[in-house]
Amino acid sequence: MKKITIVGAGRVGETTAQILAEEELCREVALFDVREDVPEGIALDIVQTAPFFEFDCAVHGSNDPRILKDSDLVIVTAGFPRKPGMSRADVLESNVRVIDEVTDHILAYAPETMVLMVSNPVDTLTYRVAQRTGWSRNRVFGQAGVLDASRMASFIAQETGFSARDITTMVLGGHGDTMVPVPRFCTINGVPLSYFLPEDRVEAIMERTRKGGAEILALRKNSSAYDAPGAAVAAMVDAIVNNRRRLLPCVALLEGEYGEADIAMGVPCVLGEKGVESILELELNEREQADFTQSASAVRSEIERLRDIR
Ligand X SMILES: O=C([O-])CC(=O)C(=O)O
Ligand Y SMILES: NC(=O)C1=CN([C@@H]2O[C@H](COP(=O)(O)OP(=O)(O)OC[C@H]3O[C@@H](n4cnc5c(N)ncnc54)[C@H](O)[C@@H]3O)[C@@H](O)[C@H]2O)C=CC1
33 is in an annotated binding site: yes
Q: Which residue in 15, 31, 46, 82 binds ligand X (CB under 6 A)?
A: 82
What is the Cα–Cα distance from 56 to 26, expressed in whole angstroms? 10
- Orientation of helix 122-133 relative to helix 286-306, angle to 10°: 60
The residue type of 250 is: C
Q: Is residue 176 within the footprint of ligand Y (CB under 6 A)?
A: no
Q: Which positions are catalytic?
A: 175
What is the Cα–Cα distance from 158 to 160, expressed in whole angstroms? 6
Chain Cα centroid distance, residue 308: 25
Closest by CA to 148, choosing from 131, 167, 169, is: 169
Which residues have CB under 8 Å from 101's CB, separation 6+? none
Distance of closest approach, residue 79 Cβ to ligand Y, in angstroms: 4
Q: Is residue 31 within the footprint of ligand Y (CB under 6 A)?
A: no
139 is in an annotated binding site: no
Distance of closest approach, residue 158 Cβ to ligand Y, in angstroms: 21
11 is in an annotated binding site: yes
Contact letters for ligand Y, residues 245-284 (x by CB under 6 A): ----------------------------------------
Q: Which stretch binds ligand Y (CB under 6 A): 22-30, 46-54, 224-232, 294-302?
A: 224-232
Q: Is residue 78 within the footprint of ligand Y (CB under 6 A)?
A: yes
Kindly identify the residues of this chain, within the stretch 156-175, that bind ligand X according to CB under 6 A. 175
Q: Considering beta carbons, is residue 79 or 183 the nearer one to ligand Y? A: 79
Kindly identify the residues of this chain, within the stretch 181-240, that bind ligand X according to CB under 6 A. 213, 216-217, 224-225, 229
What is the Cα–Cα distance from 113 to 128, expressed in whole angstroms? 16
230 is in an annotated binding site: no
222 is in an annotated binding site: no
Contact letters for ligand X, residues 20-49 (x by CB under 6 A): ------------------------------
List strand residue ranges (DSSP E) for the chain, in order: 3-7, 28-32, 58-62, 73-76, 114-117, 140-142, 167-168, 171-172, 180-181, 187-188, 191-192, 246-255, 261-272, 275-279
Q: Which residue in 18, 19, 33, 279 binds ligand Y (CB under 6 A)?
A: 33
Q: Considering beta carbons, is residue 65 or 79 the nearer one to ligand X? A: 79
Q: Is residue 88 within the footprint of ligand X (CB under 6 A)?
A: yes
What is the Cα–Cα distance from 64 to 144, expressed in whole angstroms? 28
Task: Provide the pairing of β-strand 246-255 with 261-272.
Answer: antiparallel
Kindly identify the residues of this chain, within the stretch 102-121, that bind ligand Y according to CB under 6 A. 102, 118-120
Kindly identify the residues of this chain, within the stretch 125-154, that bind ligand Y according to CB under 6 A. 143-144, 147
49: exposed, middle or buried (C-beta count within 10 Å: 0-12, 13-18, 19+)? middle
Q: Which residue in 17, 147, 167, 254 binds ligand X (CB under 6 A)?
A: 147
251 is in an annotated binding site: no
* DSSP per-residue letters across 131-168: HHH---TTTEEE-SHHHHHHHHHHHHHHHH---GGGEE
What H or E segment, with its residue span, contains residue 19? helix 11-22
Q: What are phi and psi of 271, to 5 degrees?
A: -110, 120
Site of interaction with ligand Y (CB under 6 A)? 7-13, 32-35, 77-82, 95, 98, 101-102, 118-120, 122, 143-144, 147, 175, 223-226, 229
Q: Which residues are annotated as a binding site for NAD(+)?
A: 8-13, 33, 95, 118-120
